[in-house]
Amino acid sequence: MKVTAQEEYGLRCILQLARYHSRDPVTGRQIAESEGISLDYVSKLLMILRRAELVRSVRGIRGGYALAREPRSITLGEVMRALSSEDGVVLTSPDAHMCDHFSGHLEACMHLNACAIRPVWTVVARYLSGVLDHISLMDLLQTEHQVLEVVEQVSQDTMREQAMGGTIQIGR
């Protein structure tokens, strides 16, 4: 249960775009150099994000990549979901249960075991979605300390919201 390479590097790439938003498009080469990964890999990752309509690209000389929307309106949750190959067991919506993914050779998780595990991931996934969907790319453009404060705030708001079982307007 860990963050995949695609998620990590893809997130870094789109963060570069967020950083230089409202200027000229950023070239793949620039991103590759500042992140220390190959241009080809950057292309692949940004293609995934482009198909998810989070990034737009401009071809030709003077071209490059840019965010499709404002950094404030793109959430970390959206980005992570776009970069996750399949519907993850943890990352996605609480409706997607792991029983759908890992059923062994049996028909379904009829035995109690699998169903005992399910609620654990249900709660964890709900928390994760709650947190990641309330952190925008803009939030991540600050110092490490400031980001930490935002995330902790969001984390607590998320828990409070879920404890009450309702939808609360998160203010910060």
Coil, strand or helix at 18:
helix
- Which helix (H) or strand (E) is 57 found in, with range? strand 55-58
Q: Name, in order, each residue with C-beta under 8 angstroms of 40's C-beta and a sequence gap of 6 or more.
A: none
Helices 28-35 and 5-19 pack at an angle, to 10 degrees, of: 120
Residue 68, contacted partner among a copy of itself, DNA, none, CB below 5-8 A by kind: none
List the interface residues with a copy of itself, window 44-103 (CB under 8 A): 76, 80, 84, 86, 88-91, 98, 101-103
List the interface residues with DNA, window 38-97 (CB under 7 A): 38, 40-41, 43-44, 46-47, 50, 57-65, 85-86
Neighbouring-strand partners of residue 26: 65
- For DNA, the closer of residues 44 and 118 by Cβ is 44
CB distance 168 to 157 below 8 Å:
yes
Residue 62, contacted partner among DNA, a copy of itself, none, CB below 5-8 A by kind: DNA
- Minimum Å gap between C-beta 97 and a copy of itself is 11
- For DNA, the closer of residues 40 and 152 by Cβ is 40
Neighbouring-strand partners of residue 66: 56
Neighbouring-strand partners of residue 57: 65
Determine the size of the site formed for a copy of itself (CB under 8 A).
65
The answer for 8, left when phi > 0, alpha when psi is -120 to 50, beta otherwise, is alpha
Q: Does position 9 bind DNA by CB under 7 A?
A: yes
- For residues 26 and 145, what is the distance between their CA atoms, to the nearest angstrom? 27
Interface pattern 99-138 for DNA (x via CB under 7 A): ----------------------------------------
Task: List residues near DNA by CB under 7 A.
Answer: 4-6, 9, 25-29, 37-38, 40-41, 43-44, 46-47, 50, 57-65, 85-86
